Amino acid sequence: MSKVADDEILDETLVTKEGLKKLQEELEEIKTIKRKEVALRLKEAISYGDLSENSEYQEAKNEQAFIEGRVLELEQMIKNAKIISGKSGDSKGKDVQIGSTVTIRNKTDGDDPIAYTIVGSTEADPLEKKISNESPVGKGVLGKEKGDIFEVNTPAGIFKYEVLKIS
């Protein structure tokens, strides 16, 4: 019985409400627009004749397979979505959780402070300052409080960070 519970936990997709909305919008776009585009490309490629040497047909079939795989992946992620928010629980703003926005300073390099939002791996986007709870810094900062100093072992070496603000 615990095997099933473990599998369910592993299948969870941690997302914010906005992240879930993006997944749903992507799924809708694929189902309503992309599938039709690929079907038209396939129909056109088939009209060219000999399918064994028809690169347009092969390309369209590959794209169709990719789209169908993405549909299954998105449906699974949405089905197993667990909405995260940094504003839940009694520890509101006291320690870093998934969904928290945390300002940290790299004490090793002396860099300027930077604010990150801790998100599930499906929403991670370092360019938008959203880091995964599974990344080295994301793992290291979880559970920390303002003023805490923690070390992170990264591919580039060990770095010390200080938690300056949590919201």
**Co-location of 136 and 78 in the same domain:** no
The domain in which residue 133 lies consists of 101-166
**Co-location of 153 and 111 in the same domain:** yes
Q: Tens digits of per-residue pLDDT, 37-85?
A: 999 999 998 888 877 788 888 899 999 999 999 999 999 989 988 887 6
C-alpha distances out from residue 151 to 33, 107, 111, Å: 47, 10, 15
Are residues 88 and 30 in contact, defined by beta-carbon separation less than 8 angstroms?
A: no
3-state class (DSSP) for residue 127: helix
> Which residue, 83, 117, 133, sits at the end of a domain?
83
From first CA to last CA, the distance across the chain in angstroms is: 38
pLDDT for 17: 85
**Co-location of 159 and 119 in the same domain:** yes
- Classify strands 101-106 and 81-83 as parallel, antiparallel or unpaired: unpaired
- The overall average pLDDT reported for the chain is 85
CB-based burial of residue 55 (10 Å sphere; 0-12 exposed, 13-18 middle, 19+ buried)?
exposed
pLDDT for 102: 95
- Classify strands 157-166 and 149-154 as parallel, antiparallel or unpaired: antiparallel
Q: Tens digits of per-residue pLDDT, 122-147?
A: 888 989 999 999 899 999 999 999 99
Whole-model pTM above 0.75? no
State yes or no: pLDDT of 8 exceeds 60: no
Are residues 97 and 91 in contact, defined by beta-carbon separation less than 8 angstroms?
A: yes
More confident residue, 88 or 95: 95
Instruction: State the CATH number of the domain containing residue 114.
Output: 3.10.50.30
Q: Tens digits of per-residue pLDDT, 90-124?
A: 445 588 988 899 999 999 888 899 999 999 888 88
pLDDT for 34: 95
